Amino acid sequence: MIYYQNNTLIIRPIKLQDAQAFEQAFRLQNWERKAQLFTDYYYEQSVQLRYVFVAEYLGKVAGYLTLVPLAQAGPFKDKWPELVDFNVLEAYQEKGIGSHLMEAAETFAKDLAPVVTLGVGLHVGYGAAQRLYAKRGYIPDGSGIWYHNQPLALNAPCYNDNDLVLYLAKSL
C-alpha cells in the first residue's frame, strides 16, 4: 500500500527493516531512537493497534508519523484517534515531508472518526510542529496545559520538558 507518491517521496506503512534504518538515521543526528521502538510499531501495526506512516525520500527513510485509533491519554482518551510520535529527520526537513505525512495520516483517520487529535509539547523543540499544526487547522481543546498526563492547575509547578503538552483537535 502506498499513501502518497511523487518523484522523490513515498509515504507508506512501516516495514520491519525500517527499524534498523531509523535507528542508524537517528544516531547520525545524535538522537537515541532504538530499533526496538520501530519493531514494536511494526507489530502494533500488524494488529491494528497503531498505523505507521513512513516517509521515504529518494529511497531512504526520512520520517514517520503514527496514528492510534483511540487516544491513550489526555482529554481525548478513548474518544478519538490521535497522532502520536511525529519525526522528520533533520537532513530531510523543509522539503514538505511533514505536511505529506500529516495529509496521509489525516486522510486515513477520516475512515476511523470525524475528528483527529494530537498533543504537542510547548518547549522550543516543538516550535516547527506547533506552527505546522496551526497551519493545518488544529485548535486547542480548551482543557489547558497538561503535565504528566494530568491537567495542570493554575499556579501549579512544572518543568518545560516533553511532558508539558497542549492538546489539539481537527475536524476531518
Q: Where are the domains of the chain?
A: 4-171
**Which pLDDT score is estimated for 68?**
98
Low-confidence residues of the chain: pLDDT under 70: none
CA 164, CA 159: separation in Å to the nearest integer? 7
pLDDT, one tens digit per residue, over 146-166 is 999 999 999 999 999 999 999
**N- to C-terminal Cα distance for the chain?**
22
Q: By CB neighbour count within 10 A (0-12 exposed, 13-18 middle, 19+ buried), where does 69 fall?
A: middle
pLDDT, one tens digit per residue, over 53-80 is 999 999 999 999 999 999 999 999 999 9
**Which pLDDT score is estimated for 145?**
97
**Which pLDDT score is estimated for 81?**
98
**Which pLDDT score is estimated for 16?**
97
Question: Can you name the CATH fold of 4-171?
Answer: Aminopeptidase (3.40.630)
Asked if 92 and 8 count as a contact pair (C-beta separation under 8 A), the reply is: no
